[in-house]
Amino acid sequence: MALVALPAAGGNLRVELASHAVTTTPAALDPQPASIEVDAGGIVVAVRAGLLEVVDAITGRTLDATPVAGTRIASIYTSGADLYVKTELDLIAIARGTGCVRWAQPTTSTGNAVALAGQVVDAWVDRATNRFGVLAYDARTGCKLDAIELGVTHGWYDVERLQLAADGPHEVLVSAAFGIA
């Protein structure tokens, strides 16, 4: 588990607290359905034939679509203005009001992303070097701002969870469990 600080002025990420003790055994993650309705009566997000489609839930009209490498939705994070959808290989920012895709970035982790202070934070896993960490993107443009390494995976499968820290508006709590799938 690590507590990562995100400077408000776009400085470097830094680890404020880290513990590498085993505290729990993770349960298997249930895959998300092929499509998910976000905000009742709002939009539906679906992955079909290599595209992430954003559909108006009332009219059925496609609002936007973007090519994706992933084949299923892994998680959705909602912030005030945007949705952040992760497939197992992509992170996509969608404007909530219009359903337009703002940007898309490849991802290497199976965990969720979170947004705060104009940044989107995602986990990364380097399976060649058996390392993991977090990185921050500009929430508006999707440009990478910074990355920080948090430790080793020992070559095992990863499950990361990111959540906003309760004690600060610019901190993310990162928990990761590595084991054989």
Average pLDDT over residues 60-71: 91
Q: Hey, what long-range contacts does 38-43 have (CB within 8 A, 24 or more apart)? A: 38/76, 38/78, 38/83, 38/96, 39/78, 39/96, 42/96, 43/94, 43/96, 43/99
Rounded Cα–Cα distance for residues 22 and 24 (Å): 6
Q: Is residue 17 part of a domain?
A: no
CATH code, domain with 113: 2.40.10.480
Domain count, the chain: 1
Q: Is residue 87 part of a domain?
A: yes
Question: Which of 14-28, 121-135, 156-170 holds the top average pLDDT?
Answer: 121-135
Rounded Cα–Cα distance for residues 53 and 73 (Å): 11
Grade residue 18 by pLDDT with cuts at 50, 70 and 90. low
> Which residues span the domain enclosing 114?
2-11+28-179
Decide which of 134 and 165 is more confident. 134
Q: Is residue 118 part of a domain?
A: yes
Decide which of 164 and 86 is more confident. 86
Decide which of 7 and 101 is more confident. 101
Q: Is residue 121 part of a domain?
A: yes
Question: Which of 21-25, 77-81, 83-87, 140-144 holds the top average pLDDT?
Answer: 140-144
Q: Tell me what pLDDT residue 27 has.
A: 46
Rounded Cα–Cα distance for residues 116 and 122 (Å): 12
Question: Within 10 A of 36 (CB to CB), how many other CB atoms are there?
Answer: 16
CA distances, 96 to each of 75, 106, 127 (Å):
16, 21, 33
Taking 80 as the threshold, does the pLDDT of residue 43 lie above it?
yes
